[in-house]
Amino acid sequence: MKRGVGRERRSQLLEQVADYILSNGLAELSLRPLAAALETSPRMLLYFFGSKEQLIAEALTQLRSRQQLDFARAILAPTGRRRRLSQAWEIWSSPEGERSLWLFFEVYGLALRNRKRFPGLLERLVKDWLAFFEQAFAAAGVAAERVQPLATLSLAAVRGLQLDLLATGERTRTDAAFRELLQLLASLSASGPPSTAKEPPTKKR
């Protein structure tokens, strides 16, 4: 197989594998049904990717890149910061976005049970997304020492609401909670850093 054709075919297969995992999940993934769905063979998948583990790792990276691209587009849209975050939530919580959320939390759970199966994945799932929130708070003029704590709080709260939505399907309630989160973050970022000054010691009589 010519090198250029091989690269193109590999890239095409990777996109198809990512779509398959997104639709069918990861826990029971087997090469034979996967290859049949892609109208290829397990041998060809192993030829292009070396191993099932490598194929999964690259497909998950591909899916994460798609999610981050969608989020970046929402965050960089020429609207107010609050509206940009609302657009990001709309993407995540849409019926189409729920498929990505199901896979995200499935992979999260599998990686927590066996970190060696997905080396470095858990760290990337936090740090890669944390950077987007840090940039948003820094751009809003938040004091440097508060950027990372507020970004951490925001990411944790959003993921909690995502998990709530998947568990209950109660979109109206979680949407309202997200709006409350935005109001809270707006008030926190607009205010100064929390006071750490200690009360003067009481004079002894």
126: CATH: 1.10.357.10
Residue 79 lies in a domain: yes
* Domain boundaries, position 135: 3-190
Planar angle of CA 162, 164, 166, nearest 5 degrees: 70
Q: Measured between alpha carbons, how far is 72 from 136 in angstroms, rounded to an integer?
A: 11
pLDDT at 19: 93
Residue 200 lies in a domain: no
Residue 129 lies in a domain: yes
Residue 32 lies in a domain: yes
> What SS3 state is found at 49?
helix
pLDDT at 197: 46
Other beta carbons within 10 angstroms of residue 8's beta carbon come to: 11
Q: How many domains does the chain have?
A: 1
| Closest to 173 measured CA to CA, from 93, 113, 62 | 93
Other beta carbons within 10 angstroms of residue 66's beta carbon come to: 14
Q: Measured between alpha carbons, how far is 44 from 14 in angstroms, rounded to an integer?
A: 12
- Contact assessment for residue 103 and residue 25, using Cβ atoms and an 8 Å cutoff: yes
pLDDT at 76: 63
pLDDT at 205: 45
Q: Which residues contact 167 (CB under 8 A, 6 or more apart)?
A: none
Residue 198 lies in a domain: no
| Closest to 67 measured CA to CA, from 26, 95, 97 | 97
Residue 132 lies in a domain: yes
Q: Provide block-wise average pLDDT over 10 residues at a time, the chain (205 residues).
A: 74 94 88 94 94 90 83 65 77 81 89 86 87 83 91 93 94 94 78 51 49
Residue 184 lies in a domain: yes
- Contact assessment for residue 62 and residue 14, using Cβ atoms and an 8 Å cutoff: yes
**C-alpha separations of 5 from 16, 68, 102, 107, 189 in Å:** 17, 28, 34, 32, 51
